[in-house]
Amino acid sequence: MPAINRLSTSDADFRQRLDELLAWESVSDDAVFTTVRDILADVRRRGDAAVLEYTRRFDRREVTEAADLEIPLFRLEQALTAIPAEQRKALETAAARIRRYAERQKMDSWQYTEEDGTMLGQQVTPLDRAGLYVPGGKAAYPSSVLMNAIPAKVAGVEELIMVVPTPGGEVNELVLAAAAVAGVDRVFAVGGAQAVAALAYGTETIPAVDKIVGPGNIYVATAKRMVYGTVGIDMIAGPSEILVVCDGRTDPDWIAVDLFSQAEHDEDAQSILVSPDVQFLDRVEESMERLMAEMPRAQIIRTSLEGRGALIQVRDMDEAVEVANHIAPEHLELSVEDPEAVAARIRHAGAIFMGRYTAEALGDYCAGPNHVLPTSRTARFSSPLGVYDFQKRSSLIHCSAQGASTLGRTASTLARGEGLVAHARSAEYRIK
Amino acid sequence: MPAINRLSTSDADFRQRLDELLAWESVSDDAVFTTVRDILADVRRRGDAAVLEYTRRFDRREVTEAADLEIPLFRLEQALTAIPAEQRKALETAAARIRRYAERQKMDSWQYTEEDGTMLGQQVTPLDRAGLYVPGGKAAYPSSVLMNAIPAKVAGVEELIMVVPTPGGEVNELVLAAAAVAGVDRVFAVGGAQAVAALAYGTETIPAVDKIVGPGNIYVATAKRMVYGTVGIDMIAGPSEILVVCDGRTDPDWIAVDLFSQAEHDEDAQSILVSPDVQFLDRVEESMERLMAEMPRAQIIRTSLEGRGALIQVRDMDEAVEVANHIAPEHLELSVEDPEAVAARIRHAGAIFMGRYTAEALGDYCAGPNHVLPTSRTARFSSPLGVYDFQKRSSLIHCSAQGASTLGRTASTLARGEGLVAHARSAEYRIK
């Protein structure tokens, strides 16, 4: 059994130990930085030729023409037909639920007219084109394709371009099937920093996009950071985290496996359980010991729990809420009697899973809300990926002659206070 | 008169010349990068002591105690009382209008319940604490205080902390007065990268915030980029831009001064006029020649127009719209007969100023919508600063027993497809 950390809010050094456990800084060392910078510059300058070269080198593929990089849409449909019917149905069910939830997030334009006839408003438009990065190999998750692609299409993005590396030519059929279900418009078998560069700057074959979303390794994350400004990007995600708050009356086996489900992602993932019931913490620890044997990814789970996991004893639910708001977790499971009352007091969390039945895993796949969520305490200031990330707003101002005259006086005073005479004159021309 | 660039869409090299004019890359060289990195690390490690040291050095101030850095709220009220009544009234009028518009942007929580009793929703909460950077000296704009602070307070941010350098101890009374009007909660007389560091990490005296907004010089911008992730930040703004689309029937003097009002910001600012009427372009150029003499900032205007300004002839309004969507300008003035029809076809712009009376300067100060807008073509994927930038969303999922059972089957299939057995087991426990 992993020696999972035990903390109690009554410990004198509680806050310090907790903060040490929570601490996370992604490291992109100088070597990665330099490599990525050079790849970006090269793709920007040489386009397809550079993309082909890096794909031959990094993905060990015999591609000579840029057209070879595109995976045609009929291949996506083939994949969807070829996978087991149960998987296809699961993908389609999940997609329908994700789409229904996303529809609620869609922002609409609005405007209002003032007494003097001046109209003010906000016009909402979708991005023209978005790029979706999908990792290749083991970390290729079809659910991630659905979660990133569907909000973009619901927002009205005209062209959604997916890039996915196919090392050694190996293609993940479930990923292609998910792309078909999600309505991805074009797919290129390119990965790494070269794929990010192609999407940001465009090449002869791969069109430039306005925003790049989706997870990737340290090269991809570094490349996304560097092209930010030329294009938009989503958050750079840290390791996945779950915080379970339990009153001690949920089956400890359920909670143990809920904690496992986060820990199995990778060694740096973080699973924390908070409860006022110390006997319950013991029972969950016993369940973990017993159930560990059944986990194919036991080694990853063990490392994760030992390094970053914790069972935290609190005095009462008030203190549990306080701890949760400090942690600002990506996933917060409220396995308690009255989850509504507790949720209303949560100020920071990516997603809140309420009640004993709402396993976090349901949200990962098919409940409807997005599984791309703010990590590493960034829920203090950021939100789940959503339709709104693929829309943007333009302010609308339409002054009547009277409105411009009235506003012109105020603007002129403030402009002259700031020493900006052209601003003042521009406003004053419109004063009657 | 400035030799403003003349372009026509009928030129063979039009798109290339336009893109050269639009090109803008902010340069933060290695020296700036290293300086900022060291200051951030030092403030993080030594707190107040480091902040005091940098303030003595960079702002030439004799501060020995951290408490000396705080500007008490009564000083803000004093400033508001001391400034001329006309300026106070202008600030208050502008603030009221900005607040009214901001109220419309506020996002609300929502939820819906499915047939089997499963509830899905989105809980919206404000940031706990935000930091507002205000530049010192010449670039200190009271309007900028209003535009950054008011959306935060409308969002419900509990504590809004302003930092402003006071080089040599010099304080801008209008800026303090604007802070009073906007409801800023605390003010510290600190600037530069050390102020950003203090807000991001917190010191003994200056509390850590969750997001930092507001304009600053290259050191401030570089510091904001570096602390992004620890805290949220707003966009890093490039030089200000205006694109005026005119049908040729607005007074050319008005348009000339509208172009000046952007150019007077700084030498890198960009003013572009697009019209299908080549005689009108000539008349605006004549107006500019004549009116230049009246401009106190003529030298800045001249440099800006010569380097980055342009008068562009298009075939018709369709082409004008196309050019505007390519440029994706920060400010778009539609000085045309039917601005509603044209605005509806604009896909990318920070703010749209509709009709001949709506000078962009009105929007800078008091129309209501925010003047913090996406620059350098980033309106393709980002939005004006707004209340929504100080709110965040948490997904809500509350499964009924039946809902968890149904969803559990789909989740289990997908989890096993991804090889995540703990995920699958966690879902399967909840299947009836």
Give me the catalytic one of B264, B285, B331, B348.
Answer: B331
Range A46-63 average pLDDT: 95
**A264–chain B Cβ distance below 8 A for any pair:** yes
Nearest by CB to A426, from B231, B257, B301: name it.
B257
What is the pLDDT at residue B28? 64
Nearest-by-CA chain B residue for A237: B229
Query: Does residue A1 register a pLDDT over 60?
Result: no
DSSP codes of every residue in B127-171: -SEEEEE---GGG--HHHHHHHHHHHHHHT-SEEEEE---GGG--
pLDDT (average), residues A55-84: 94
H-helix segments, B309-400: 317-327, 339-343, 360-365
Residue A177 is predicted with a pLDDT of 97
- Collapsing DSSP to helix, strand or coil, B110 comes out as strand
User: Chain B contact for A208, CB < 8 A?
Assistant: no
CA distances to A26, A66, A374 from A237, rounded to whole Å, are 9, 31, 7
Q: B interface mutation test: which of A393, A406, A431 has the most B CBs within 10 A?
A: A393
Q: Complex ipTM, two decimals?
A: 0.95
Numbers of helices and strands, H then E, in chain B: 17, 15
Query: Edge to edge, what strands does the sheet with B186-188 contain?
Result: B70-71, B186-188, B159-163, B129-133, B211-213, B232-233
Distance CA B393, CA B410 (A): 26
pLDDT of residue A138: 62
Q: Which of A109, A129, A414, A428 to mutate to test the interface with B (most CBs of B within 10 A)?
A: A414
Q: Which residues pair with A274 in a beta bridge?
A: A245, A312
- For A184-207, give one letter per residue: b (16+ CB within 10 A) or e: bbbbbbbbbbbbbbbbbbbbebbb
User: Span A30-107+126-233: which CATH code?
Assistant: 3.40.50.1980
Instruction: Give yes or no for B44 touching A (CB within 8 A).
Output: no
Output the pLDDT for position B380.
97
Determine whether B331 is an active site residue.
yes
For the range A8-14, what are the long-range contacts, defined as Cβ-Cβ under 8 Å and sequence gap of 24 or more?
Answer: A8/A312, A8/A313, A8/A314, A9/A312, A9/A313, A9/A314, A9/A315, A9/A319, A9/A323, A10/A313, A10/A315
Q: Specify the CATH number of the domain B238-380.
A: 3.40.50.1980
Give the best residue of A225, A365, A383, A428 to mutate against chain B (max B CB count within 10 A).
Answer: A365
Task: Specify the 3-state DSSP secondary structure of B209.
Answer: coil
A146 touches chain B (CB under 8 A): no
| Whole-structure pTM value | 0.96
- Asked if B410 and A354 come within 8 Å (Cβ–Cβ), the reply is no
Asked if A426 and B94 come within 8 Å (Cβ–Cβ), the reply is no
| Separation of first and last alpha carbons in chain B | 81
Q: How far apart are the first and last CA of chain A?
A: 81
Residues 152-171 of A with CB under 8 A from B: none
Q: Quote the percentage of chain A above a pLDDT of 70.
A: 98
The residue annotated as part of the active site, out of A331, A348, A360, A371, is A331
The answer to whether the CB atoms of A357 and B401 lie below 8 A apart is yes
Residue A25's pLDDT is what?
Answer: 75
Residue B158 CB-half CA count within 13 A: 8
> What's residue B148's pLDDT?
97
Cα separation, A392 vs B208, whole angstroms: 29
Which residue numbers of B belong to the known binding site for substrate? Answer: 240, 262, 265, 331, 364, 418, 423
B330 interface with A at CB cutoff 8 Å: no
**Helix count (H) and strand count (E) of chain A?**
17, 15
Distance CA(A66)–CA(A71), nearest Å, equals: 11
Report whether A265 belongs to an annotated binding site: yes
What is the mean predicted confidence (pLDDT) over A312-334? 98
Which chain A residue is nearest to residue B375, measuring alpha carbons?
A229
Helical (H) or strand (E) element with A187: strand A186-188
Q: Is A423–B364 a contact, with Cβ atoms under 8 angstroms apart?
A: yes
* B299 in contact with A, Cβ within 8 Å: no
pLDDT bin (cut points 50, 70, 90) of residue A77 is very high
Q: How far is A390 from chain B (nearest CA, A)?
A: 7
Residue A262 annotated as part of some ligand binding site: yes
pLDDT tens string A220-245: 999 998 999 899 999 888 899 999 99
Nearest CA in chain B to A358: B399
A411 contacts A423 by C-beta, under 8 angstroms: yes
- B297 vs A contacts (CB less than 8 Å): 420-422
**pLDDT band at residue A26 under the 50/70/90 scheme:** low
Q: Does any CB of chain A come closer than 8 Å to the CB of residue B381? A: yes
Tell which B residues from 385 to 424 touch A, by Cβ distance under 8 Å: 386, 392-401, 403-404, 407-411, 413-415, 417-424
CB contact under 8 A, A426 and B386: no
CA distance A199 to chain B (A): 14
Instruction: Give one DSSP letter per residue of A112-170, joined into a string.
Output: EE-TTS-EEEEEEEE-SEEEEE---GGG--HHHHHHHHHHHHHHT-SEEEEE---GGG-
Question: Is A331 part of the annotated catalytic residue set?
Answer: yes
CB A191, CB A209: distance < 8 Å: no
- A362–B411: do the CB atoms touch at under 8 Å? yes
On whether A364 is known to bind a ligand per the annotation, the reply is yes
Residue of B nearest to A301 (CA): B422
In angstroms, the separation between the Cα of residue A202 and the nearest Cα of chain B is 15
- Collapse the DSSP code of B319 into the 3-class scheme (helix H, G, I; strand E, B; otherwise coil) and give the result: helix
Matching residue, tokens 């997001």: B211
Instruction: With beta carbons under 8 A apart, name residues in chain B contacting A385.
Output: none
A102 touches B at CB < 8 Å: no
Looking at residue B313, its pLDDT comes to 98
Contacts of A392 (CB under 8 A, 6+ apart): A124, A125, A127, B348, B374, B379, B380, B381, B382, B383
- Position B264 scores a pLDDT of 95
Q: What is the dihedral of CA A137, A139, A143, A146, to 10 degrees?
A: -70
What pLDDT does B139 receive? 63
| CA distances for B16 relative to A333, B8, B12, B23, B245, angstroms | 54, 12, 9, 10, 20
Distance CA B28, CA A229 (A): 14
- In chain A, which segments carry CATH 3.40.50.1980? 30-107+126-233, 238-380
- The DSSP H or E segment spanning B194 is helix B192-201
For an interface test with A, give the residue of B357, B388, B428 to mutate (most A CBs within 10 A). B357
Helices (H), B228-375: 252-263, 278-292, 298-308, 317-327, 339-343, 360-365
Nearest-Cα distance to chain B for A186, in Å, is 20
For residue A20, count other CB atoms closer than 10 A to its CB. Answer: 10
* CA–CA gap between residue A236 and residue A34 (Å, rounded): 19
Q: Cβ separation of A369 and B395 shorter than 8 Å? A: yes
Distance from CA of A64 to the nearest CA of B (A): 29
Q: What is the mean pLDDT of chain A?
A: 95
For B122, the enclosing helix (H) or strand (E) is strand B119-126
Residue A2 has pLDDT above 60, yes or no: no
From the list A241, A264, A285, A330, the catalytic residue is A330
Q: How far apart are CA B8 and CA A255, in angstroms?
A: 67
As annotated, the binding site of B for Zn(2+) includes 262, 265, 364, 423
**A422 closest CB neighbour out of B26, B93, B264:** B264
Distance from CA of B254 to the nearest CA of A (A): 6
Among chain A residues, CA nearest to B374:
A394
CB neighbour list of residue B418: distance below 8 Å, 6 or more residues apart: A141, A142, A143, A174
A113 touches B at CB < 8 Å: no
Q: Is B223 on the interface with A (CB under 8 A)?
A: no
Evaluate if residue A158 carries a pLDDT over 70: yes
Q: How far is Cα A339 from Cα A336, in angstroms, rounded to an integer? A: 6
Helix, strand or coil, per DSSP, at residue B361: helix
Q: Which of B241, B264, B285, B330 is catalytic?
A: B330
What tokens appear for A396 in the block?
Answer: 């609308």
Structure confidence at residue A28 as a pLDDT band (50, 70, 90): low
Choose among B118, B174, B421: nearest Cβ to A295: B421
d(CA A152, CA B136): 41
Residues of B in contact with A415 (CB under 8 A): 361, 364-365
**Residue numbers of chain B with a pLDDT score lower than 70:** 1-2, 26-28, 138-139
Sheet strands (E) in A287-410 = 310-313, 331-335, 351-354, 391-398
Q: Using a CB-CB distance cutoff of 8 angstroms, which residues of chain B are in contact with residue A34?
A: none
How high is the pLDDT of residue A75? 97
- Give the model confidence (pLDDT) of B122-140 as tens digits: 999 999 999 999 998 766 7
Angle value at C-alpha A166, between A160 and A172, nearest 5 degrees: 80
CA distances from B109 to A60, A101, A381 (A): 49, 14, 16
